[in-house]
Amino acid sequence: MAIQDTARMVSERIKDTEINPYEMMLQQLDLVREYTTIPDGIWQILRNPERTLEVSVPITRDDGGIEVFTGYRVQHSSARGPCKGGIRFHPGVTVEEVKALAGWMTWKCAVVNIPYGGGKGGISCDPSCFTRSELERITRRYTTMIYPLIGTRRDIPAPDVNTNAQVMNWIVDTVQFLSGESTPGVVTGKSIEIGGALGRHEATGRGVMFITLGVLQRLGIDVAETRIAVQGFGNVGSIASRLLGEAGAKIVAISDVSGAYHCPTGFDIDLVLDYVKQSPGHLLAGLPHSGMEEISNDELLALDVDVLIPAALEAQIAARNAEDIRARVIVEGANGPTTPEADLILGEKGTTVVPDILANAGGVVCSYFEWVQNIQCFPWEEKETDQRLGRILQRALREVWTLAEEREISLRLAAFILGVERVATAIQLRGVFP
């Protein structure tokens, strides 16, 4: 069955408005099935997370009251190595979301061929309502509850939405007190001073840059002639903008929650970064830049550019606006910015979509470097990290691109096939215990 037919079948079953993230992950997985010879039993293993832990996380609020939150840690697969994946603090966290994110981590680590499986964790809570000491208590209690699952050789958390280096520092410290051992490799994304990796902060944006340049070169597009629109000017979007600007591309549109901005002659990204550093809420609002006009976020997505980099939220390119996209290439800096229905529409339009599991894998690759350095107690220089990151991502792009060309399929499907087959092979080689 052709990719379009299979995708159409899936899109008939699932509408953008009613997407359950785990269903979406399974449907992406099921698309791959047509293209592989993975046996039924192995397929059933791939469709189910290895472990799903739900924990109750009570904390004493600063006013003395007790509140109880629900947390999760899901280990989707450990077939290729310890589980790896971030921890999210957000009111929208559900077990279905965490299961989906854990699965995507499995495929992402396999696509870039690092020796990890996939995991993810989260607490359903609104961290903006916590004081710093409440945040510390909820982190330490959650860590204690998931302690039986995590470990340097078992399952290694990292930051995700609303968690950061400080939260990771508290996790390391809690694990150290519970285990009696110094184990910096139990999480990645820590502060540099206690074992974090130089270059980790920039790694995802740098990876987006490497992948974008690799795709432009394959499509025969001169980087100096390339106009790029970036949605989201946070960690991923701002760093990708700066590095692609340095590589010679023109960043003609940027946005954040405060609005979207268009400058056909190209933004001076250093000036924008200086502005954002000191602006209220570190937002783009009020940016003084010549030749710039304010536009809507939908207009940004529909601009006539060569490359569009969605680097903000999920489901930004959906059935409602996919027809309007004019970019020739989409590089998914964010996780899940394109819905399956939109993917189908973009495929029919001939848009080259570089999937998230490849495009934003720079973060997890650098997390892997941090873990390696922790295990070896031997920190690297930043230059070494950047060079190794480039090599790993360029190899992954080459493999995905070649498979897509050979089988005449989309890059997303090729990336999934590559990742899923690697995991299936690992399971088959190990055998099913007992």
How far apart CA 312 and CA 119 sit, in angstroms, is 22
Q: Give the interface segment with ligand NAD, choosing from 231-239, 246-254, 339-347, 398-406 (CB under 6 A).
A: 231-239
CB-wise, 61 or 201, nearer to ligand NAD?
Answer: 201
**Distance, CA of 25 to CA of 47 (rounded, Å):** 9
Stretch that binds ligand NAD, among 137-145, 179-187, 307-315, 392-400 (CB under 6 A): 307-315
Task: Give the nearer residue to ligand NAD in terms of CB position, either 38 or 165.
Answer: 165
Stretch that binds ligand NAD, among 264-272, 318-326, 331-339, 374-382 (CB under 6 A): 331-339
What lies within 8 Å, CB to CB, of 429 at 6+ separation is none
DSSP SS3 for 229: strand
Q: Does 311 bind ligand NAD (CB under 6 A)?
A: yes
- Catalytic choice (84, 120, 190, 250): 120
Stretch binding ligand NAD (CB under 6 A), from 180-188, 209-217, 249-257, 370-378: 249-257
Q: Which residue among 363, 404, 412, 424 contacts ligand NAD (CB under 6 A)? A: 363
Q: Is 353 helix (H, G, I), strand (E, B) or coil?
A: strand
Instruction: Pick from 313, 319, 372, 427 the residue near ligand NAD by CB under 6 A.
Output: 313
Query: What DSSP character marks residue 75?
Result: E
- Which pair of tokens denotes residue 177? 């007190």
Q: Of 21 and 333, which CB lies nearer to ligand NAD in the complex structure?
A: 333
* Other CB atoms within 10 Å distance of the CB of residue 27: 19
Q: Which of 235, 338, 339, 410 binds ligand NAD (CB under 6 A)?
A: 235
- What is 306-321 written as a DSSP string? SEEEE-S-TT-B-TTT
* Whole-angstrom distance, CA of residue 350 vs CA of residue 14: 22
For position 303 contacting ligand NAD by CB under 6 A, the verdict is no
Site string for ligand NAD, 155-194 (x = CB under 6 A): ----------------------------------------
Residues 407-426 that bind ligand NAD (CB under 6 A): none
Cβ 256 to ligand NAD shortest distance, Å: 3
- DSSP codes, 245-294: HHTT-EEEEEEETTEEEE-TT---HHHHHHHHHHSGGG--TT---TT-EE
334 binds ligand NAD (CB under 6 A): yes
| 279: contact with ligand NAD by CB under 6 A | no
Q: Which of 234, 264, 266, 379 binds ligand NAD (CB under 6 A)?
A: 234
Cα 342 to its chain centre, rounded Å, is 19
- Which part of the chain contacts ligand NAD (CB under 6 A), choosing from 20-28, 229-237, 392-400, 412-420? 229-237
Nearest approach, Cβ of residue 358 and ligand NAD (Å): 11
Rounded Cα–Cα distance for residues 284 and 270 (Å)? 13
- Closest separation between CB of residue 77 and ligand NAD, Å? 19
Q: Tokens 């939109």 — which residue?
A: 342
Residue 38 near ligand NAD by CB under 6 A:
no
Q: Which residue has the tokens 């009111």?
A: 91
- Would you call 184 exposed, middle or buried from its count of C-beta atoms within 10 A (0-12, 13-18, 19+)? buried
Q: What is the largest CA-CA distance in the chain?
A: 67
Angstrom CA distances, 3 to 28, 297, 342, stand at: 11, 30, 14
Residue 257 binds to ligand NAD (criterion: CB under 6 A):
yes
User: In this structure, are strands 259-262 and 51-60 parallel, antiparallel, or unpaired?
Assistant: unpaired
Distances (CA, A) of 186 to 164, 181, 183, 196, 282: 15, 11, 6, 11, 31
Among 6, 106, 188, 231, binds ligand NAD (CB under 6 A): 231
CB nearer to ligand NAD: give 25 or 145.
Answer: 25
Binding part of the chain for ligand NAD, among 49-57, 172-180, 191-199, 254-262 by CB under 6 A, reads 254-262
Burial of 114 (0-12, 13-18, 19+ CB in 10 A): buried
Q: Which two tokens stand for residue 57?
A: 């996380």
Least spacing, CB of residue 316 vs ligand NAD, in Å? 7
Asked about 277 being catalytic, the answer comes back as no
Q: Is 107 in the site for ligand NAD (CB under 6 A)?
A: no
**233 SS3 class:** coil
Select 85 or 117, whichever has its Cβ closest to ligand NAD: 85
Report DSSP state, residue 147: T
Q: Using the rule CB under 6 A, which residue among 52, 166, 182, 297 binds ligand NAD?
A: 297
Name the β-bridge partners of 57.
69
Structure tokens at 183: 């184990």
- In the set 232, 347, 390, 419, which binds ligand NAD (CB under 6 A)? 232
Interaction of residue 338 with ligand NAD, rule CB under 6 A: no
Contact footprint for ligand NAD (CB under 6 A): 204, 231-237, 255-257, 297, 311-313, 333-335, 360, 363
Annotated catalytic sites, by residue?
Answer: 120
